[in-house]
Amino acid sequence: MALKLLNPGLRPLGMFDLDDGDSGDLVGGEYVQLQQMDVDNVEAYAADVGQLADDGAGAGNGGVNFGLATCVHENLGGLADEGGEAGDGYGTLFGSLIGSNAGRATASGTVGGAVVIGPSTDRASGKVTVWAQAGLYGVTDQAAALDDDGTANDPVHATTAGILTIAPDDGDSLGCYVGAMTDSSLVSTTNAAVGIQSVTEYHAIFFFGNTTVPA
């Protein structure tokens, strides 16, 4: 996984459709934002998000979903939680999906010697879990271009692909950089304790959320 919940908001948004063009591409920690569906593109989505995704005139006509994007203040957005099956300490543990979203097919696989089956959450349901409330989150380099040379309070932006970066990009800042996290384990001997070079495991950021628009 690429998103780590350090001190997050109370509850994520888990009811919105993920844009089909982004389905299967999430590794976690990307910035996603609410958007109007493309009226010329028919979206597939799970039945339980139909009222949010369809205005009754057919998929793709006036509905809304979340997609990878830069941050725009006053727009609803947040950090994507991929719920991947091959995550680091987190995941559905249900194998891999064959086909498109909405859980059309699954295949068995092996994770840590155990046979597991099923799809990751964004493709199984067609939905994306979005942490939209202010809080402290960790993001790995799988889904970020955050540099180890970043300093506390550096503004964090997102590219058009939702990748978090300290370097200014199109769009507004979505949070601030806290620091690089190394040797986070509390139950084993750390690299630093035995004289080995410590390795950055993830970067901690504070996400501003959607309730307060930074100046």
Predicted confidence pLDDT, tens digits, the chain (215 residues): 588 889 988 888 888 888 888 876 778 899 999 988 765 566 666 666 665 555 555 544 557 889 999 999 889 999 998 765 444 444 444 445 455 555 444 455 555 554 444 555 666 667 888 999 999 999 988 777 887 778 999 999 999 999 999 977 778 999 999 998 887 666 667 666 777 777 788 899 999 998 655 55
> So what's the pLDDT on residue 50?
61
Total domains, the chain? 1
Q: How much is the pLDDT for 103?
A: 46
What is the reported pLDDT for 130? 92
State the pLDDT at residue 94: 46
pLDDT value for 187: 63
Q: Does the predicted TM-score (pTM) go above 0.95?
A: no
Q: Is 87 contained in some domain?
A: no
**Domain residue limits at 195:** 3-82+126-207
* Residue at 95 is within a domain: no
pLDDT value at residue 2: 81
- pLDDT value of residue 141: 81
Domain assignment of residue 165, yes or no: yes
- pLDDT of the residue at 90: 47
Residue-level pLDDT at 101: 53
Residue 106 falls inside a structural domain: no
pLDDT score, position 146: 86
Cβ–Cβ < 8 Å for 92, 85: yes
Whether residue 107 is contained in a domain is answered as: no
Q: Is 93 part of a structural domain of the chain?
A: no
pLDDT of residue 95: 47
Q: Is residue 137 part of a domain?
A: yes
179, part of any domain: yes
